[in-house]
Structure 1
Amino acid sequence: MEHCLKQQLPELEGVQESTVWSILNERDIKPHRMSYYLVRKDPEFKVKAEKVLLLYKRVEWILQMTRHEVAAESRPDELCGEVFVSYDEKPGIQAIGNTAPDKAPTLQHGYVSRDYEYRRLGTVSLLAGIDLLTGEVTGLVRDSHKSDDFIDFLKELDSKYDEQLKINIILDNHSVHRSKTVMDYLATKRKDRFVFTFTPTHGSWLNLVESFFSKLAKQALRGLRVKSKVDLVTRIEEWLKRTNEERVGYRWKWKLEDIESAFTG
């Protein structure tokens, strides 16, 4: 109890440690544990979040209203005249190589054995967007995620979808997405060809593509060892191809009527 005098609480000097623990346990107080929180620094957090969630609600309505036509092999985007893409980048994907071969499981050791040393072979960035109507993923693997890379992604979308469709993109407010180079490219397109809806600052959890990146990390990147950075790019592109062959729809489950109460305070 040497800290009692430093804190000017001499009356606690004689309290036993077991007594302190009993008091803490009774009140379920765990000072040895720590949880983190994030201060909302975006004054427009609520407004921006509502815009994103309203887009998700529109996607839900469109899928409901076009389900019979889609079952007859009509495209939902062409039926409603719009595309909805949830977009983000996953930078710094490491190409890691072994320094010694992995050892296969044996009867004595039922798991793969791997040397603890490894080689860093470089990093790549994945630029990816999910079509929220179809579940199709558009992905580009690049050495960086600069303005030119983002423009390449926009060009990929522009060539993929009919020129009459409006492409709604949900993305974060990164400076790359608002750079002069990007604005100059957008100026060459019809005014409503690309419509950006930005998530709030520190609101990446509102972007459905984050669920896709989580799936990528678990299914394709966890424990992955490659021979080169080119090998890593090939592995990612092959995984994207398989993902699109078995598409999964990403849906936001938030109820629209709960938005107001969720962002108060």
Structure 2
Amino acid sequence: MLSVDEKSQIKALDRTQPALPVNKGRLATMTHDYKRNGTTTLVAALNVLDGAIIGRNMQRHRHQKFIRFLNAVDAEVPIDKAVHVVLDDDAAHKHHKVRAWLNRHQRFTIHFTPTSFSWLNAVEGFFAKLSKRRLKRGVLHSVVDLQAAINRYIAEHNRPPKPLGPPIPTKSSLRSKPSVRFHRLERSSWPYCE
């Protein structure tokens, strides 16, 4: 099952001044104003079972581009698998040429979300992570830089997961660690207390 949607008008933003570095006791800061260097549209399919993403950058979201994206999905999904696609009710998804493509590719079954319910589409969570982790504070000088950043994020997202550090501790390893003690603060040590 694939959750498919598009994130349109992703802006390649370049800040007018460089970001100030992180100092002790101070967060990194960026100027509020920016230079806009163009936009792109990302069409992505999230495999609901394993979380893998198939994504393509496009200048516009039209039915011709959507058919190209469906061809890319068709090439990447094993031929013996049935493909269930969850889509919103965008006009490009219901175009007669898209329907003709779907009639020729019988293994694809389309399920449309109700109008104004695109938040039901699971790929929206991926778009939120992409925006927050890669695009929000990025400095992108061109649309090519933007598309490269998106493609790198998709490649990182699709990499197999790695274990998070050491194995689970045993009873003997827990005994060897010092215990944590809590100390009560006296009222006189609190600032601004009398």
User: Would you say 1:174 and 2:90 are equivalent positions?
Assistant: yes
Please point out which of 119, 126, 133 is paired with 1:212.
126
Determine which structure has the larger helix proportion and give its number: 1
Larger radius of gyration: 1
Cα offset, 1:113, TM superposition: 3.3
The alignment partner of 2:104 has SS state of: coil
The alignment partner of 2:43 has SS state of: strand
User: Would you say 1:112 and 2:28 are equivalent positions?
Assistant: yes
Once the two structures are superposed, the pairs formed by residues 109-148 of structure 1 within 5 Å of their partners are: 110-148=26-64
Amino acid at match of 2:115: T
Once the two structures are superposed, the pairs formed by residues 242-257 of structure 1 within 5 Å of their partners are: 242-246=156-160
Count of residue correspondences: 161
Structure 2: 5+ residue runs without aligned partners?
A: 162-194
Q: Deviations over 1:48-72 (max 9, x none)?
A: xxxxxxxxxxxxxxxxxxxxxxxxx
Root mean square deviation, CA, Å: 1.6
User: Structure 1 residue runs of 4+, over 4 Å off?
Assistant: none
**1:157 counterpart residue number:** 73
Determine which structure has the larger strand proportion and give its number: 2
**2:10 counterpart residue number:** 93
The alignment partner of 2:134 has SS state of: helix
Please point out which of 140, 143, 147 is paired with 1:229.
143
How many Å separate the matches in 2 of 1:198 and 1:113?
42
- Return the TM-score normalized by structure 1: 0.57
Amino acid at match of 1:132: V
**2:114 counterpart residue number:** 200
Cα offset, 1:114, TM superposition: 2.6
How many Å separate the matches in 1 of 2:101 and 2:17?
47
